Amino acid sequence: MSASVERRGVVRLTIRGGLRTRVRPTREVRLLDLSPFGARIEHGTPLQPGVPYVLDLAPELGGLPLAAEVVWTTRMGEAQIPEGEGRLRYQSGLVFLSLMRGQRAALGRFLEGLTTAA
Over the stretch 66-98, which tens digit does the pLDDT of each residue have? Answer: 999 999 999 988 765 565 555 788 999 999 998
For the chain, give every domain's residue range. 2-117
Query: Is residue 39's pLDDT more than 80?
Result: yes
pLDDT band at 100, cuts 50/70/90? confident
Q: Specify whether the CB–CB gap between 107 and 62 falls below 8 A.
A: yes
Q: Tell me the C-alpha distance between 55 and 74, whole Å.
A: 18
The pTM for the full model equals 0.78
pLDDT band at 118, cuts 50/70/90? low
The helix (H) or strand (E) run that includes residue 104 is helix 101-117
CA 47 vs CA 12, 30, 63, 73: distances in Å: 22, 14, 22, 6
Q: According to CATH, what is the number of the domain 2-117?
A: 2.40.10.220
